[in-house]
Homo-oligomer: A and B are copies of this chain.
């Protein structure tokens, strides 16, 4: 390891003497530096720290007395302790209005989503009472609205009904739902506790957009049952089964009263949505429209007793707040394993949704949400929920957006909402018995329409065609097969993309930009000129076992192409191969092995291998593996320019 820092001034003088040359900033005397060797534990500890504690959570604990540390730990678990101290009446005003607004939106949604999950309507309302309270104490997002969500309800319903028929065994079905909710909570809390939050990042954005759009269309189609008043409806969720079912029933005649109610209120709801879109300040019109529709339609049905003329109504709804359900969870037997499996899937999907929502609004208001704390909060809320007759809750996109626009300041808006839902459960629930299913269908259709994010889809199409294929895959998977399959496809595509990305890294041929020391991709900069007799290749990725062979063979292919061109154009033969390593962040034993093989292949061709600008991890590993001895220290340069200056024929340089 030779440091030539002390030789700097001589070099400087040496350079000065060549003033007028365009290369005076070269031969500056710097050599590639080996970073200080790190021990096993330092290396492991750093790896663990970057992986699991990327946000440096212990920072504030440093140099604090014990009582302060205890308080910090408590505040770490219950962020409310931290922010509640600076809570003001002004903030409460915002939270109060927002809370009332999302409560008005959540009541009809909860009933509809519970039906989507084949659960009794009151279970939906229960899920908007306890979980938001738990979240308010533990969560770090200020804008998320907690409760049942459309896609998650659909997914849960699909998975649960594969195990138990909700029509014939409603009690066992509910028990399995609570079991799944419990394990969804455990999954989320464990991921948070063990700081494994990065797992959810493996779901690509494009796959999520496709999955969501597919789920929205599936949910919308499912609503045709309530909307058209069809009694016998398919259990499957794919578009073909649903359309067959609808077509078959249309021939047998639908209930015209149901369609009338559904269609008129859907028209009303879409109008309010349109108004809200045109004038952002009128967002509250579309926010309270569902509740108004619910009340008006329920009242109409109650007065006219339209249910006796075949208008399907909610019927199955109980008064009173959440009863305990700890004893209903399957703690043994075959349903334990099934509940666990469904819970893990639902937990992960819920997490992905909640974190995405949290991040979106945090970015809008520029505050940080802590992924691991969020997971712990969501997990605890679902565990507590599973013991108080709630089913899996998460952040709801539609309600969170309304919450944000209504001016919420903190999670207190969720508390306000929970109290309103509690009062509803205690006082007015029995009236919802007469709510026509058609109105719920209209409300859900109005809401899921916005889950089809065609703007993002168009952006993805423009930016990355491969990503768009992933989006379509997940979308068609959900629409033509099932939510489950769509989710599987989304995960498979995401993982596949990661794996492809690491096996086929990009490489580029570099050329010199005339009159500079800059070497760039000749494909991007056609004015960059190749240096005669020297081929410069940049490898744009870490060299690992997954790509080491590819990289080696790709470089040899560049060389072969180059040689053919040289023969055709009778140019001078390549004598030096410079591999620019600055983008190569790391290398492993397979990578070093590939370099050794490259060196051998080059020696047979009488071409010298030169490395430029290896990073700290790379140069250290090359030295450990004695590759630096093999190639020679004098073949390793700090920059491509240095190497070219040293080896290129003088005549070739356009000085």
Interface residues, chain A, with chain B CB atoms under 8 Å away: 5, 8, 12, 15, 19-20, 22, 24-25, 28, 30, 33, 35, 40, 43-44, 47, 50-51, 54-56, 198, 201-206, 359, 363, 366, 368, 456, 459-460, 462-467, 494, 497-506, 508, 513-518, 520-521, 523-525, 527, 540-542, 544-547, 549-550, 553-554, 557, 582-583, 585-586, 588-590, 592-593, 597, 600-601, 604, 613, 615-617, 619, 621, 624-625, 638-639
Contacts and interface: CB of A to CB of B under 8 A. Distances in A.
30 contacts: A8-B527, A25-B515, A28-B518, A30-B518, A33-B525, A40-B465, A44-B466, A47-B466, A50-B504, A54-B550, A56-B557, A202-B499, A202-B503, A203-B545, A205-B545, A205-B588, A205-B593, A206-B589, A359-B549, A366-B600, A462-B625, A463-B592, A498-B498, A498-B544, A501-B544, A506-B585, A506-B586, A506-B617, A518-B639, A541-B542
Nearest to A9: B515
B557 A201 contact: no
B588 A30 contact: no
Given A35-B523, A499-B498, A585-B540, A545 B515 contact: no
A600 B366 CA distance: 8
Contacts of A540: 583, 585, 615
A290 to B, nearest CB: 30
Contacts of A47: 466
B505 A54 contact: no
B542 A501 contact: yes
Contacts of A524: 33, 35, 615-616, 619
Contact of A15 (B50, B515, B590, B624): B515
B506 A502 contact: no
B505 A585 contact: yes
Contacts of A625: 459, 462-463
A588 B545 contact: no
Given A205-B545, A546-B201, A460 B589 contact: yes
B359 A12 contact: no
Nearest to A464: B588
* Pairs A-B, 6 closest by C-beta atoms: A583-B583, A540-B585, A524-B616, A205-B590, A204-B545, A462-B624
A595 to B, nearest CB: 12
A624 B463 contact: yes
Contacts of A499: 202, 498
B54 A589 contact: no
Contacts of A463: 588-589, 592, 621, 624-625
A114 B260 CA distance: 77
Contacts of A368: 553
Given A22-B25, A583-B540, A549 B366 contact: no
Given A28-B513, A465-B40, A601-B366, A550 B503 contact: no
A518 B51 contact: no
A271 to B, nearest CB: 32
A206 to B, nearest CB: 7
A585 B583 contact: yes
Given A8-B515, A35-B523, A201-B549, 11 more contacts: A12-B515, A28-B516, A44-B465, A47-B466, A51-B504, A201-B546, A205-B589, A494-B545, A518-B638, A523-B616, A524-B615
A431 to B, nearest CB: 44
A545 B460 CA distance: 13
A638 to B, nearest CB: 7
Contacts of A586: 501, 506
